[in-house]
Structures are given as C-alpha cells and as structure tokens.
C-alpha cells in the first residue's frame, strides 16, 4: 500500500535493480504455478518409473536406472520451485533445520551420477540410489512440522 501511495504521489524515484525487474516481469499467476508444479512433478515421477523399468535392460540397465531415477528426483524437488519461487526454495533448502538433509540429498545425487557415468560401478550406483531415496525422504519430512521427531521416536520404540 505504501508503494502505491509513493507512486501516486510522485515520490517513487528509487531506481529498481535489474534483478527486481526480472523477478517482477517473470512472476507467474497462481494457476500457472500449480500447472508448472504438476507438470514438473509428473515428469519426475515418469522419469523415476522409466528408470525402474529400464533397470531390467541387459548390460546398461543399472546405469539407465541410476540416471533416470536421479533426474526424476531432481525434477520432483524442482517442481516446488514453481510453488515457492527459486530464491525462497534455495533459502528454505539451506535453513539450519534442513541443511544436513539438503547436503545429503545433493551429495547422493552427485555420487549416483558419478558412479554411473565416470566410475562405471553398478553396485555403487544402486547403493547411492537407495541412499538417495532415504535422504530425499528425510529432507521431505523436514517440511512437515514434528514429522522427523515422530519418525525418530518410532524407530526408537521399534529398536528398544
């Protein structure tokens, strides 16, 4: 409201930065954000499922699985950028409460792709895919209030 008053009274003489203009020009409507989220999330699910189906291809199946599964998870995480915006998403990813989970997810993504492309080690690729799933689950739980505490208590009860 204050911004509108300044513009209407002619007091708005501040020079907006280039980044502010880009963000303002590229803002999406809520409907477009929802459509983008659904499309990106669906593409992530399709990639993950395709990777699972390609697991059974002789010779290159595990590599294809690792690549498609990882890209599917990246697309699924990327879909939330449509809901929050890229800067807010990055800020929330690196908040102290989920910093370790974020680093583990990104590390597992990287190690999965490295084991598939550079190291050509199927066993490591499969291990990192499993770790990727666990890290991504822990990361996702960090967005639900008290969810990680509940999981910790559940495991403590089961192991005691």
Q: DSSP readout, 62-104?
A: HHHHHHHHHHHHHHHHHHHHHHH-HHHHHHHHTSTTTHHHHHH
C-alpha closest to that of 92 among 133, 137, 143: 143
Residue pLDDT, tens place only, 42-87 = 999 999 999 989 988 888 888 899 999 999 999 999 999 998 889 9
Cβ-defined contacts of 13-17 (< 8 Å, 24+): none
The chain-wide mean pLDDT, for the chain, equals: 85
* 8 — pLDDT class (breaks 50, 70, 90): very low
Token representation of residue 46: 């399709």
Instruction: Judge whether 143 lies within some domain.
Output: yes
Instruction: Judge whether 139 lies within some domain.
Output: yes
Instruction: Judge whether 20 lies within some domain.
Output: no
Cβ atoms of residues 79 and 40 within 8 Å: yes
Instruction: Judge whether 6 lies within some domain.
Output: no
Q: Is the pLDDT of residue 24 over 60?
A: no
Q: How many domains does the chain have?
A: 1
Q: Output the pLDDT for position 22.
A: 44
Q: Output the pLDDT for position 11.
A: 58
Instruction: Judge whether 105 lies within some domain.
Output: yes
Domain that holds residue 51: 25-159
Instruction: Judge whether 8 lies within some domain.
Output: no
* 32 — pLDDT class (breaks 50, 70, 90): very high
Instruction: Judge whether 12 lies within some domain.
Output: no
Token representation of residue 65: 């699985």
Instruction: Judge whether 5 lies within some domain.
Output: no
């Amino acid at each position: 409201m204050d911004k509108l008053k300044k513009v209407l009274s002619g007091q708005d003489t501040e020079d907006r930065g280039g980044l502010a203009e880009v963000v303002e020009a590229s803002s999406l409507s809520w409907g477009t954000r929802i459509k983008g989220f659904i499309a990106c999330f669906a593409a992530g699910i399709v990639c993950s499922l395709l990777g699972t189906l390609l697991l059974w291809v002789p010779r290159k199946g595990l590599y294809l699985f690792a690549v498609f599964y990882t890209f599917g998870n990246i697309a699924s995480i990327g879909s939330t950028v449509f809901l929050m915006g890229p800067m807010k998403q990055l800020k929330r990813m690196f908040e102290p409460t989920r910093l370790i989970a974020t680093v583990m997810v990104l590390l597992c993504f990287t190690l999965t792709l490295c084991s598939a492309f550079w190291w050509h080690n199927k066993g490591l690729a499969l291990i990192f895919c499993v770790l990727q799933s666990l890290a991504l689950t822990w990361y996702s739980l960090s967005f639900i209030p008290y969810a990680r505490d509940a999981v910790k208590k559940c495991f403590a009860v089961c192991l005691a």
